[in-house]
Amino acid sequence: MKKILLPLPTEGFDPTEVAIPWKVPAEVGHDVQFATWSSGPSPNFRDSPEKLKHGFALLDRNYLSARWPGDAYNFANAFDRMLQL
């Protein structure tokens, strides 16, 4: 089966928000894992046209997502590339 990574904030969220996104794939045998900010890039830095390494966007086929509004430049670049495919 597939490995699924669910990013979670380190504070300020209700754990029940991830119950269904975890339960449904786990019941059919997928390996569902959680990731927090402490295990990834720092969320305190906004990206910019000059500093795109600070941002993060995830493109998976037709799904595009970013962590927060501070990733706007990376999200916009990824969205532009997605439209050009």
Report the sign of the C-alpha dihedral through residues 19, 5, 61, 75, in that order. Answer: positive
Model confidence at 44, pLDDT cuts 50, 70, 90, reads low
Average pLDDT, the chain: 79
First CA to last CA distance, the chain:
28
Q: Is the pLDDT of residue 85 over 80?
A: no
Q: What is the pLDDT of residues 47-80, one digit of tens each?
A: 888 887 777 888 888 888 887 778 888 889 889 9
Report pLDDT for 84. 84
Report pLDDT for 25. 86
Report pLDDT for 39. 54
Residue spans of the domains in the chain: they are 1-40, 41-85
* Distance in angstroms (rounded) separating the CA atoms of residues 19 and 55: 27
- The alpha-carbon radius of gyration of the chain (Å, integer) is 15
